Structure formats: C-alpha cells, structure tokens
Amino acid sequence: MNRDLKIVVAGSTGRMGQALLTAIAQTPACVLHGALVRDGSKDVGRSAMQYGGSSDVPLSTDIAAALVGADVLIDFTRPVATLEHLALCRRAGVDMVIGTTGFDVEQKQRITDAGNDIGIVFAPNMSVGVNLTFKLLQIAARVLRQGYDIEILEAHHRHKVDAPSGTALRMGEVVADALGRTLSECAVYGREGITGERDPSTIGFATVRGGDIVGEHTVLFAGIGERVEIAHKATSRLTFAQGALRAAQFLADSGRGCFDMEDVLGLRN
C-alpha cells in the first residue's frame, strides 16, 4: 500500500484503546480514521487527542459511519461487541485486527468464516515478543516431551475479566499440540484439597489477578534435577498496540483470509 493506512479503533478510551491511539500517532503511514466508544459513553464528541491521539478525530458510537473509507478496524474490546463489529466490517469490506479474548468455540468459528470476505488477523496476544515465545515453547515441548511436568502461570491487572488469559490458553495449545495432545483433554485449571499425585500427562494453569500488572506469563517445564522456564513480561500496553499496527499493515497487502501473528511475523513453518 502506497498511501496512509486509515485505521478505526474500537474502545478508544479503554486501556488498550488509548495505547492504540498513541501508537498510531507514533507510526508513520498510519492515520486515525475513526475512534469508537460504547453507546451511552460520556466521551462522545470529545477529541481523540484527549486520549493519546495526534489528530482531532471526535469519539463516536456510529460504527457504520466510522467504517466509511476506512482500511481496518482494530478491536480489543469484549466478545459480544467484537462480533457485532465483525458483522459490520464484513458488510463494509473493511479488514479487522482482533485482539479480544474470551471467545467460545462457536464465536471463534464465526471469526474464521468472516475471513472468506475480509482480511482478519485474530490473535490472543499481538506482542511480537509473546509470539516469538510461542515458537520457543513449540521447540521446548518437543525436546522436553518426556520426564517434565508442564505448568503455565499468568498474572494480569485486577480489571481483567477472563481467566486463564487468552495468551496462557494459547501457550497451552501450542505445547499440547507439540506433544500430540489436545488441551481440552489435558488441562487442569485449579487444584484444591487432596488432589493426589500429579498426572504427568496434564498441563496445569495458575492465575493471578491484582493491581496494574500489564501481563506476565511463564511456562515451567519441571523435571527431576532441573527445570526450564520460558517467560514473557509486558511492562507497557504499547507493545500490544505496536504489534496490532504491524498486523494492520500486513492485512493491507494480504487480501481476504483469517490470519494470526505467526503469519504476520513470518514464523509459520
């Protein structure tokens, strides 16, 4: 694409929305085309510049109007809202970057199906570092497939509404797939009381919620006499926003289809 990429941001006044407004302002060849807020928001009509944007785009609830002339919508909101936005993007022929988590199987399929009509990057975590971590986990799981217990620990801020995080679940899927397992069959999401000895075929999850933790994930491969830990810690939401913009730029040249960050970063085998 030889012109500026026109981007609409959903949830512009939220934590990720403001990070996206800031990242767009800092990124050459990306311009803010629309800034959306939820119905009933007190911020309607205010300038995006009040929330980190560099252009005086007014905050709006009119999604259809914002999509006119846009290239891509970036959405880190909630599943129900994201799916509503998806339907409108599909109708308008506008690509979409989806960082929302907490979808069920049927909802994920709806996103995949929309890739028949528009370009979509759908990933539980847009961070370049996290997606490199996924690749490292794939390698580690193949090497440490015998004699190592696998536990996934994640921590996020007090406002996060889903657990385990979408990133932690994706880490579990990557590891399970490398081991020839299905995460739904081997995941253990909580332990309490007398649980008996650990089943070596399981993948355990532990969740922490508190304060303003942006996002921390550690996958522990615990053997006898040693352990390997692969960890990622985010200290700013800008890392996710910058990855989302990289995904948006990828879609500008990719056409229709449902992609993930492995496609964006060229990490797919």
> What is d(CA 50, CA 56) in angstroms, rounded to the nearest whole number?
9
What end-to-end distance do the CA atoms of the chain give, in Å? 26
The count of C-alpha atoms lying within 13 angstroms of the C-alpha of 79, restricted to the half-sphere facing its C-beta, is: 15
Amino acid at position 24, single letter: I
Asked if 9 and 24 touch (Cβ cutoff 8 Å), the reply is yes
Active site residue 160: yes
Catalytic entry in 33, 85, 156, 217: 156
Q: List the strands of the sheet with 227-234, edge to edge.
A: 187-188, 203-209, 149-156, 215-222, 227-234
Active site residue 233: no
Catalytic entry in 160, 217, 232, 233: 160
Q: Where are the beta strands (DSSP E) in the chain?
A: 5-9, 30-36, 59-60, 72-75, 95-98, 119-122, 149-156, 187-188, 203-209, 215-222, 227-234, 257-259
Q: Which residues are catalytic?
A: 156, 160
